[in-house]
Structure 1
């Protein structure tokens, strides 16, 4: 069986669109139709809806990890690295509303176990933990579990952006700066 990477990408993109539009109620047949592939062909790539949802979640993780790693320079100080992480996450969540909604939806999906989520997002989470631990050791971020501190920042950003999208105009640079400042102030060691 010759599996095409392009077809797999189309299937994941179609599933992403339908999950955002209809939730997990979308059928594998509807996903195949949206992707322009035969339903039987879809099962060559994903043997179940759960596997397909994990594939969609994995795609989000890949994009997020690549976006967040861009511009991450070990040569900058710990405070600058955390500030850059906050700014990149704001941009990541703001720049693609569908991806943001998909991430929000998948994060609360019963088809993704905590173990699956940990495995899929492991590299991303591990790099955030290391960054927070480094900032704590340098005395610029408050004490506490690094996983929870990073999760707090990401959750605050996602919730702010979700509410901000209700307004008709784009987020301004002043609003971005305010959000970044609030996140930094919440975790900074005073």
Structure 2
């Protein structure tokens, strides 16, 4: 590894530590955490924070961006042409459950930043654009295939994400386990709420 590579790795590591510390403190104390607390938790000098981030708001934007990267990695899938629109959306629902349940602190961070946004709505939409675009595309294609109710794309996306996050949040609060059967039930419940209604039996 040459000197440039070593320095890049050091910079990347320190920046990641700062972002991780910020996320940890937001989960624990909300946005009241100070830059000094963030620096202490990250194990860096307070002045180092400003080497990588212009302000606390800029730092929190970095946390938003890092969260988006994690969501992209968990939810965005390159399906082959043989995968049906229904299968793609069912996979999305299952992956969403896994994403929220796998990391409790990350789920709390997602919930907090969704409910107490500190950046303008337009900017937040831009940060989460890759996820929103994939979600809308997956839902739109399933609806066009006739397997979903004729509801709004954005409405169904918000319902899936918000409903699953809230349900799993309260499961955690009650100390419950997400067994394979419970996971299957949640996915089925979510799907049944948006799935096209079957034709009435015996209807002319």
1:159 is the counterpart of 2:166:
yes
Partner of 1:175: 182
Alpha-carbon contact 1:73-1:81 (below 8 Å) kept? no
Gaps of 5+ in 2: 1-6, 198-204
Alpha-carbon contact 1:72-1:84 (below 8 Å) kept? no
- CA apart distance, 1:162: 0.4
TM-score normalized by the length of structure 1 = 0.95
Alpha-carbon contact 1:93-1:158 (below 8 Å) kept? yes
- CA apart distance, 1:73: 4.2
Counterpart Cα distance in 2 of 1:145 and 1:42: 42
CA distances 1:153-188 after superposition (whole Å, capped 9, x unpaired): 011100110010023342111111111011000111
Counterpart Cα distance in 2 of 1:14 and 1:25: 14
1:51 is the counterpart of 2:53:
no
Partner of 2:202: none
- CA apart distance, 1:123: 0.7
CA distances 1:18-62 after superposition (whole Å, capped 9, x unpaired): 010111000011101111111111011111111111110111110
Query: Residue 112 and residue 73 in structure 1: after superposition, are their counterparts in 2 closer, same or farther (change >3 A)?
Result: farther
Alpha-carbon contact 1:106-1:112 (below 8 Å) kept? no
- CA apart distance, 1:94: 0.4
- CA apart distance, 1:9: 0.5
Q: How many residues align?
A: 189
Partner of 2:101: 94
Counterpart Cα distance in 2 of 1:74 and 1:19: 41
CA distances 1:71-90 after superposition (whole Å, capped 9, x unpaired): 74453100100100000000
- CA apart distance, 1:112: 2.2
Partner of 2:13: 6
Gaps of 5+ in 1: none
Counterpart Cα distance in 1 of 2:85 and 2:179: 27
